[in-house]
Amino acid sequence: MSLRNRIIAGGGVALLAVTLGGVSLALADDPASNQEMTGQMTYYNASGYGACGDVVDAATEDLVAVSHEWWTTEDPNEDPICDGVSVEVSYNGKSITVPVKDECPPCDADHIDLSQPAFEKLAPLADGLVKGITWKFVTDDGRRITRPDSPSSSPDDAETPAAGSSGGKGSMGFPSRYAAPYIETWGPSSALGEARAAGLRYATLAFVLDGGGCKATFNGNTPLTDEGWLSAVQGLRGSGGEVIASFGGASGTELALGCDSADALEEQYRAAVDTLGLSRLDFDIEGSALADTGANQRRAEALTALQKDIEGRGGRLDVQFTLPSGTSGLEADGVAMLQDAVSAGLRVSLVNIMTMDYGSAVEDMGQAAIDAATGLHGQLGQIWPEKSDQELWGMEGNTPMIGVNDTEGEVFTTEDASRLADFAVEKGIQQLGFWAVGRDKACPAAGTLSEDCSGTEQSDYQFLKTFSAVNTTAPGSVPVTLPEGVADPLPDSTSKGATPSATPAGGRAGEVPAAAAGSGKTISNAFTTGYTWFDNTPRGSAEISAPVIHDAAGGTGTWEDPITLAVGHTIEGGKDTLDYPAGTRFYMPKFRRYFIVEDACGDGGSPQNGPCHSLESAPEGATTWLDMYLGGGSGDSDSAAHACADQLTGLSTVIQDPAEGLPVTEGPLFADDTCTATYDD
């Protein structure tokens, strides 16, 4: 199955006001079925699980992905938009009606993303982005399709979203399948930002513990209001991600043990939800806490009350449990705790098993994790007999300890991670995690048990990259398909892991390939030009040839987030060869930014013959040609973007394979119709 090739446009939504019964309404704010809207359309052609939970193939089926703004619940599979809703779209005298099967995270409310064959029935694929379409929702019963932020809600509700709601505190929600590895909150909050730059979209914050006197804190010693962690969480959300707070763990005082009443415990859970803007809580219950029936009862009672209160006010609070596992599934006390929670009236969204530290050496840890998941499936069927096989798999989570485990003889390798990711996609497991992001790098010596590295052979963040490939939705991302003949620049488990879905992970962040390692060479006569959002083929796409850090052309110019560079290339014998290997970094003093080779330069039907490969049209003395991605979008001026490109064109000094830590003016080269400043080389 191919990676999602979404051709997308940014910019604002043009609202269409009409009069219905004397009342003027902005249709994009409060639409009903059979009310016509004006907007734009794009197409995609990937296959995998769509946001409605079904397997889709956008390369062969007629379907539509609509904006995330039409989803009204945290669980996309159960959303009303997935229940028999279609879109009737018209353009240029042609009309089609296609079912809603998927979500388009980057789309505005008036923007629809058709499958490739559906798009072709209305317009040529080469058009890419088509404006001026009309479309409407069509339902069998004529029911209303309303956005969550519709003004039909009470004003008070709009200003103060219920805790746990999709509109609260910037919460983006979770897709139908995702990876949410554990981030150690006793470390620096910057770890979350570093992992985000490496491709993290969803994270589990570990752990919330009692700080004394029934007080929820990180690690028992850091307030939940800590500015560093609040800022890091908002940074992740700003990139389209989301967090889970995990209560408990193997050390410290589990909160239900530190609070002597369900009411006091509920107050602390509510404080965590409100402070961090949470829609999902994880409870890592193990050791003596799992055997404490009194604490289990208080926890279930408190969570049930909080969940009912939040959801009674129009929000949503998902509760999941992370529990010890053997190779055959949950241990008996874990099953008993779940049964008691269900009896208390708690809605449990997910059961996550810790596929680690089985107590004795296990030779094949990947297979052990798969066997444990299979055993859990049967156990969940006994607790929730009314659920289908697919629903039960969708209630599962699986969290190994990467690398060398605490139990001697247990080592979970990168190959094990790929096998588990494949299995998760095959079965529809909802969540993958691992312990822990701070360990996701190699130790100085293999075989080492450490809190700071995995002890197994790997590249930095390799487990994160492998598991993140299972994500079915990555808000804000625009993944692309590598053209035929272009090698994947990440020849590790990122390309060998789970089958990508209809909306896979954003940010295929990766190590610079070994071929790109260099010497800090200074090139004094590089010819730099720029291309924009308007210049891509099809126009308006952010498609690039060889993603390394990004899934689409972009970047802010930092070492961690360099700006995409296009370079010349040739095709011989079906093999595409770039002038510089994908992943080669450059630093340009004139722009005070880092750049990375991810794209092939040249437009038209034969891009290998494009202008960047030949220096014949460059100024005299030019020794190489580098085409920078400037930025831009549908809300920007085309002429302003090209004027910026003209301003940044010329001979410059550049550094190939530069050192880290050079001065940076962070941001795109062109934004809000404004061109960046330039400096002396």
- Looking at the annotation, which residues are catalytic? 286
Tokens of residue 37, six digits = 């809207």
Q: For 218, list phi and psi in degrees, rounded to 5.
A: -75, 125
Q: What angle do CA 269, 295, 333 make, to 5 degrees?
A: 115
Q: What share of the chain is helix, strand, coil (3-state, %, to 5)?
A: 25, 25, 50
CA distance 156 to 357: 49
Q: For residue 219, what are its two tokens?
A: 């690690």
Q: Which of 231, 209, 229, 230 is nearest to 220 (CA)?
A: 209
- Max Cα–Cα distance, the chain, nearest Å: 81
Q: Which residues pair with 528 in a beta bridge?
A: 626, 650
Residue linked to tokens 């923007």: 111
Nearest of 497, 340, 492 to residue 432 by alpha carbon: 497
Q: Is residue 232 helix, strand or coil?
A: helix
DSSP per-residue string spanning 150-212: -TTS-HHHHHSPPTTSTTGGG-----SSEE--EEETTS-THHHHHHHHTT--EEEEEEEEE-S
Q: CA 434 to CA 356: how far, in whole Å?
A: 10
Pairing of strands 569-572, 575-578: antiparallel
The answer to whether the CB of 563 falls within 8 A of the CB of 595 is yes
Q: Residue 493, Cβ neighbours under 10 Å: how many?
A: 24
Distance in angstroms (rounded) separating the CA atoms of residues 164 and 176: 17
The residue among 231, 235, 230, 246 whose CA lies nearest residue 195 is 235
Cα separation values, 172 from 158, 238, 473, Å: 16, 9, 11
Give the DSSP H/E element, type plus range, for residue 337: helix 332-343
CB 422 within 8 A of CB 498: yes
- The closest of 510, 430, 517 to 463, measured between CA atoms, is 510
Answer for the pair 51, 392: CB distance below 8 angstroms, yes or no. Answer: no
DSSP codes of every residue in 341-408:
HHHTT--EEEEEEEE---SS--S-HHHHHHHHHHHHHHHHHHH-TTS-HHHHHTTEEEEEB-EE-SST
d(CA 537, CA 438): 40
267's enclosing H/E stretch is helix 262-276
Beta bridge partners of 593: 588
CB 303 within 8 A of CB 280: no
The full 3-state SS of 275-331, as one line of letters, equals HHCCCEEEEECCCHHHHCHHHHHHHHHHHHHHHHHHHHCCCCCEEEEEEEEECCEEC
Q: Partners of 600 in the beta sheet? A: 567
- Minimal CA–CA distance to 513: which of 545, 533, 488? 488
